[in-house]
Structure 1
Amino acid sequence: MRIKILDGLRVLAIFIVMLYHYYSRFYGELYEYTINTKFFFKFGYLGVELFFIISGFVIFLTLRKTKSLKDFIKKRYIRLAPGMLASSILTFFFFYLLNPPFRSEAGELKNLLFSNTFLSPSFSALVLKDFNFNYTDGAYWSIWVEICFYIFVSVLYYLNRTHIIRNFSLFNILGTLLYFLNLNLPSLGLQRIALLSVFFDVFNFFRYALWFLIGIYLLRLYESRERKFLVGITAILLILCLISNSVTVTLFNILVWFIIYSFVYRPHFIEFLGNSFFSRLGVATYSVYLIHQNLGVLFISKLSPYFGPYNFVLGIFAIIFSFGIGVLLYEVFEKKAAKKLYNLLLSSKN
């Protein structure tokens, strides 16, 4: 059964990310507004972390409903491939056709092909040193983090289903400690360990690993109401506050804690996120995410001269544009292609 509030949380997450990209990330670099919005929306990058929490929840639930590692890999491919193919082709088409003076990598065929492998440019640089690949859209970076999560959690799950929570928690926490220890060695007057640096550069999952663990704990809290999982979530959020040493992250984590508590114990507080409108948008957020950055920024930069001092409204128009295109891609291609892939790869006849 689909949990509709999660769809609403996906919409909230992508909305926050779009505010960041349209009003902060590229402000002053590709366009400016009469109102300086860079500071007010700089928190928006944290919407990706909210996606990671949702992913931890959903992927762990998926694992428990999947018989084998092979079937799990097939399910993930079915979920990711159609949206990436449609979104990357659309982005490539516009950047190749219009050839804007920024993000030139988006209009290169080699990057279109590479993006559909779901690999990281850091990984390709390590393995294929003579080739220089990039993403068609920079927003794809988080998909590789998701892929790493799928690999690590699924391998641990199918090795030992009984103790998966314990094993993944230990793996997650140990990896996070090693990542941040190695990262901060220079501040102690020591050099970073070269092998670890290469590993963490390629598998950048560990920078965000604790967010996925929150999602897994949230699922267990949602199912069992055991307070130990709420304590675990609270402890992780506090650790993330200390690691970041940021007021912005602290405020965001307080909001996340409130959402989690409401989701489990006071769902009426956030029940509006489960309405049909948010559900309709929520199922398409993967496609929306994949097309929103480069196409949305291209949309704003091209139209800004025509709106003069009122060009700040273009960010809102870009949000509507991205949701519209994303939902269209989902309905016209992603959903239908996923169904055909499912019949091909997971049909009972195979």
Structure 2
Amino acid sequence: MTSTIARPAPDATRRQDSAKPRRETRLRALDGLRLVAALMVAAYHYGGRGGAVTEAWGSSPKVQFPTLHAFFSYGCLGVQIFFVISGFVICMSGWGRPLRSFFASRASRLLPAYWAAVLLVTAVFALPVVAYEAVSPSDALVNLTMLQQPLGVDRVLGVCWTLWAEIRFYALFALCVVLPGANRRRVILFCALWMLAAAIAQGVDEPLLDLVLMPQYAPFFVGGIGLYLVHRDRRDAYAWGIVGVSWLIGQHYVVRELWRAPSPDAFSNRTSLGIVLVVTLGFVAVAAIALGWLNRLNWRWLTVAGALTYPFYLVHEHLGWVVIHALHRGLGLASAETFVLTVVSMLLLAWLLHRCVEKPLTPRLRAALSRTR
């Protein structure tokens, strides 16, 4: 909604807020930003940290990428950018929808590719030629529920902890906004109360409140919701206030979690300024999309990029290690070539999952869950 559109009368505004959602033109730039965030996370997993990936390369990624490893280490912040995008998209998709439709949309979007990724990674890790240990059959079955985190079960997919955060966000938004009916006032109240409750939860250090309210992630989801309100009306001072407070608190949590005092023994030394800069760029990028500044980026291939992002995100970490091991240690390819080919191979696998799993199963699952008995 641009500033040149006249505001309707207050009564009309209230009717519009609770009415069916307006038709949104597809924000293809948001699809592109999703893929950028996923590639950031992939760079972090392949070359921005030590641990399990060291076994894939045969030595620390710090040795493989003497200069780039320090930049790759900031790639983990792609997760926070994902959360901002998620807040924007969930508010947009939940506006004016009944609870059944919202649930069907989210479940059909997440589950088919997730199930396929869990089964695929489990099968690959069970192969004798693969050096990584697979989870037990029982744990693999529990992973299909997406509830392995609270149940304390070994994860098949390393990235699934972010899905657990997403699920809790969906539940809060569904109960507080979608169920009673989304409108501007209710969304603003939800954002304000969630941020306040999250701050209180952080202060009292109560595990149950932390689990439900997610103080360290709430600012990013709320910031995305605020940016969607900006997308609806760029003159909305409350929306801008939500975005500003979310950025201020969000950068604090990320700096607290990721910054460490410089040490020659550390894998990399992230600076607090660098962390704040990446978080800020994430907010600015979504804000630019919300304000329509990137509407010219309307290329169709960006829609494809957005469709590949989720399956790529699911499979890239663990299966990427297998590919790195095969290319770098098996075939002797250079580090740079291995890195690029691994990313390309994971994108191709994501395309196969999208074509063979998501396209046929997503609409069927959505229809089944939307059907009224």
TM over 0.5: yes
Q: 1:289 aligns with which of 291, 313, 316?
A: 313
Partners of 2:213 and 2:322 lie apart in 1 by: 28
Instruction: Give yes or no for the alignment of 1:124 onto 2:151.
Output: yes
Name the structure 1 match of 2:30.
Answer: 6
Instruction: Give yes or no for the alignment of 1:238 onto 2:258.
Output: no
Question: Is the contact between residue 101 and residue 370 of structure 2 (CA under 8 Å) also seen in structure 1?
Answer: yes
Q: CA deviation at 1:222?
A: 0.8
Q: CA deviation at 1:303?
A: 2.4
Q: CA deviation at 1:156?
A: 0.5
Q: CA deviation at 1:78?
A: 1.3
Q: CA deviation at 1:178?
A: 2.9
Partners of 2:103 and 2:146 lie apart in 1 by: 13
Q: CA deviation at 1:64?
A: 1.6
Query: What fraction of aligned residue pairs are identical, expressed as a percent?
Result: 24
Question: Is the contact between residue 156 and residue 167 of structure 1 (CA under 8 Å) also seen in structure 2?
Answer: no
Equivalent residue runs for 1:67-216 within 5 Å? 67=98, 69-98=99-128, 100-102=130-132, 104=133, 106-121=134-149, 123-125=150-152, 133-157=153-177, 158-159=179-180, 161-162=182-183, 163-182=185-204, 193=205, 196-200=206-210, 202-203=211-212, 205-216=214-225
Question: Is the contact between residue 49 and residue 73 of structure 2 (CA under 8 Å) also seen in structure 1?
Answer: yes
Partners of 1:309 and 1:330 lie apart in 2 by: 29
Cα pair distance change 1:214/1:117, threshold 3 Å: same
Question: Is the contact between residue 139 and residue 290 of structure 1 (CA under 8 Å) also seen in structure 2?
Answer: yes
Q: CA deviation at 1:313?
A: 2.2
Partners of 2:96 and 2:141 lie apart in 1 by: 32
Q: CA deviation at 1:160?
A: 6.1
Q: CA deviation at 1:71?
A: 3.2
Q: CA deviation at 1:204?
A: 7.1
Instruction: Give yes or no for the alignment of 1:247 onto 2:279.
Output: no
Cα pair distance change 1:198/1:262, threshold 3 Å: closer
**4+ residue stretches of structure 1 with deviation over 4 A?**
none
Q: Which moved more, 1:286-295 or 1:157-166?
A: 157-166
Q: 1:320 aligns with which of 333, 344, 352?
A: 344
Question: Is the contact between residue 230 and residue 290 of structure 2 (CA under 8 Å) also seen in structure 1?
Answer: yes
SS at match of 1:25: coil
Question: Going by fraction, where is helix more abundant, 1 or 2?
Answer: 1
Question: Is the contact between residue 19 and residue 41 of structure 1 (CA under 8 Å) also seen in structure 2?
Answer: yes
Partners of 2:312 and 2:96 lie apart in 1 by: 27
Aligned length, in residue pairs: 323
Question: Is the contact between residue 217 and residue 250 of structure 2 (CA under 8 Å) also seen in structure 1?
Answer: no
Instruction: Give yes or no for the alignment of 1:42 onto 2:51.
Output: no
Deviations 1:267-309 (A, max 9, x none): 24x744x422221121121111111110011211232224547
Partners of 1:74 and 1:241 lie apart in 2 by: 33
Question: Is the contact between residue 216 and residue 250 of structure 2 (CA under 8 Å) also seen in structure 1?
Answer: no
Partners of 1:48 and 1:331 lie apart in 2 by: 25
Q: CA deviation at 1:310?
A: 1.4
Name the structure 2 match of 1:129.
Answer: none
Letter in 2 for 1:50: I
* Unmatched segments (≥5 aa) in structure 2: 1-24, 256-271
Question: Is the contact between residue 60 and residue 216 of structure 1 (CA under 8 Å) also seen in structure 2?
Answer: yes
Question: Is the contact between residue 83 and residue 287 of structure 1 (CA under 8 Å) also seen in structure 2?
Answer: yes
Question: Is the contact between residue 66 and residue 72 of structure 1 (CA under 8 Å) also seen in structure 2?
Answer: yes
Name the structure 2 match of 1:219.
Answer: 228
Q: What value does the CA root-mean-square deviation take over the aligned residues?
A: 2.3
Partners of 2:314 and 2:287 lie apart in 1 by: 30
Q: Which moved more, 1:300-309 or 1:319-328?
A: 300-309
Letter in 1 for 2:70: F
Partners of 2:79 and 2:64 lie apart in 1 by: 28
- Normalised to the residue count of structure 2, the TM-score between the two structures is 0.79
SS at match of 2:64: coil
- Normalised to the residue count of structure 1, the TM-score between the two structures is 0.84
SS at match of 1:141: helix
* Unmatched segments (≥5 aa) in structure 1: 126-132, 183-192
Deviations 1:53-101 (A, max 9, x none): 111111112212422x233222221111111111111111111114634
SS at match of 1:97: coil
